Homo-oligomer: A and B are copies of this chain.
Amino acid sequence: MRLADGPVRLQPMPPGADAMLIAKCPVRDVLDRIGDKWSVLILKNLEEGPRRFGVLKRMIGDISQRMLTQTLRDLQRDGLIQRTVYPTVPPSVDYRLTKLGQSLMDPLEYLVQWSDRNHQKVRKARQSFDRTPPGAPA
């Protein structure tokens, strides 16, 4: 890859990368689910025990009712949480982690730990990036 002494003509494709090597793997399934803005937050809340709809909403604070409903349904659909309806006076509903959902909390915990340890660095990087204009001098 003569970078300093001549024209550059890379191989049209990296060796063995016929595209979608990663795009189609199961990771994507999971990431697309917990990768939305709210899933992890909800899961994290549910980790402490069953929660009712309204409580979850208030806990998270800035989630819209619409999104909460929908995210909860998606989570339920994927078997991560369980929805229980109680035939009480104003019918109440609560959500709790399934076994599967609980097992996801472990890897998630690592992520949370990383966040705690490194968010400072991320913030600093962000600041310095924002200070330096995109077209920075050599």
Contacts and interface: CB of A to CB of B under 8 A. Distances in A.
Interface of A: 3, 7-8, 10, 13-14, 17, 19-23, 25-37, 40-41, 44-45, 51-52, 54-55, 58-62, 76-80, 86, 88-90, 92, 100, 103-104, 106-108, 110-116, 118-119, 121-126, 129-130
The SS class assigned to the A binding surface is: helix
A39 to B, nearest CB: 8
A33 B14 CA distance: 27
A22 B39 CA distance: 12
Contact of A35 (B40, B52, B90, B106): B40
B122 A31 contact: no
B124 A79 contact: yes
A109 to B, nearest CB: 9
Contacts of A36: 35
Contact of A59 (B17, B44, B110, B126): B17
A30 B112 CA distance: 8
A130 to B, nearest CB: 7
